Amino acid sequence: MHSTLTEHARCLYGDEYRLTPACGRDHHEHNFIEELTFADADAILSMLRELCPNVVDGQLPVRIRNLAYRLVLLQKPDQPALLREAAQNLWLHGPEWDDIATELTQQAEELEAR
């Protein structure tokens, strides 16, 4: 059993910086997504920052990164730094999300202007 969301992600997707542990379990993405869905923001951010410390790296699939940032922003909507981090992730991983990234950046600017 994995003790953290990060360990579960590392087992499922691998890690550029550390060896993937041999846990002896079959891994199914739907189990990970369920764990991610109900994880708190700090656990999700820990996973993102440990497995993708430079945003452009890491082996987490883009769909998982996008979902992770979305879940974090739902839990912590008023943090400009997180809004910008999520926007940067969207810009780096596909032009189809540029409008959303721009909107997140504008939200961050509005929060800071208050």
The percentage of the chain sitting over the pLDDT mark of 90, rounded to a whole number, equals 74
pLDDT digits (tens, 9 = 90+) for 16-34: 888 777 777 777 899 999 9
The domain total for the chain is: 1
Contact criterion met (CB below 8 Å) for 6 and 51: yes
**Containing domain of residue 13, as a range?**
5-113
Q: Which residues of the chain have pLDDT under 70?
A: 1
Q: Where are the beta strands (DSSP E) in the chain?
A: none
